[in-house]
Amino acid sequence: MLKLKLLGIIANGENSGVEFKRDDIRPEQLGKEVVALANHQRGIILIGLEDDGTISGIKRDDLETWIFDTVFDRYVHPMILPFYETVLMDDGKSVAVISFPQGTSKPYVLRHNGREEIYIRAGSTSRLATREHQARLFAVGGILHPELLPVPGTGLQSLDLVRVREYLSTIIRDPDILDDEDAWTRRLSGLGLLTGAVDGREVCTIAGLVLFGIAPRKFLPQAGLRGIVYDTEDKTYHALLDTVLDGSLTGRYVTEANGTRTLVDTGLIERFSEIISPFITSNNQPFLTAFKGLKPGSIPVMLSGK
């Protein structure tokens, strides 16, 4: 890293991707910062700086070995291979630059005292991840697939099999014609639309219920779409439109003999398009929405459970 670039980073101060540390920092403390930055986007840790950006310099002779063999090898898991370099300043003091890209094996954890702790970045500070943050990190890392989680109280009868059959035959061109409940259960379980519950019964997954459920909000109150249109730039109690949509995400189609698909029952996407179409402008006049900064003609969309 060029000295001029380093000085620019120091002048901007600590932020969500930059951390300043003295070289007498304890290994678990440095590991905590590495974990938090890796769980965020990317990280740059400058060793040899005070919190206010004053350059105190590197005093440890074995700093590079200590960082690789102690901090990254013993305290950070899974393994991260950082890029290490030192920059000599005009006053003769050196600053160590430890940089690494956004982690692809999230969540990264700090291993210390027989425990594994997950940290995240919040502005210029690192803090323990909440349960919700951890779930998000597991999902991003591919360890947790929330769309495959079971929805209690549901079953095969909760799905619109007409929509499912049209999807199987037309979209993925499945040649098998299902004619009994056991066949449906096996096929939909293989697609991840059904899954086994604790009591051994097959229940809908979140994906199955959202895509093909007859009434998803009966079991998932946070599902569906809520559309709100305000007549001013401020969110007020008076709204031109405030409605919650429930039902399958996909529409129901009929395929004609010539291969033409005709929509006979709308899904959430089509119904949402219908209700907002009167409020979308076709000229260059700005459209007033609940949120400033949206493009003309746009509309705020929120999950109904919010």
Could you tell me the pTM of the whole model?
0.56
Tell me, what's the pLDDT at 225? 84
The mean pLDDT values, 10 residues at a time, for the chain of 306 residues are: 90 93 94 93 91 92 92 93 92 93 86 93 91 84 78 90 83 75 86 80 90 89 83 73 85 78 84 84 46 37 37
Tell me, what's the pLDDT at 256? 75
* 109 vs 141: CA distance, rounded Å: 13
The one-letter amino acid code at 83 reads F
Domains (range + CATH), the chain = 3-140 (3.30.950.30), 151-218 (no CATH), 225-252+260-302 (no CATH)
Tell me, what's the pLDDT at 184? 86
Helix (H, G, I), strand (E, B) or coil at 70: helix
Do 208 and 192 form a contact (C-beta atoms < 8 A)? yes
* 98 vs 47: CA distance, rounded Å: 8
Tell me, what's the pLDDT at 34? 95
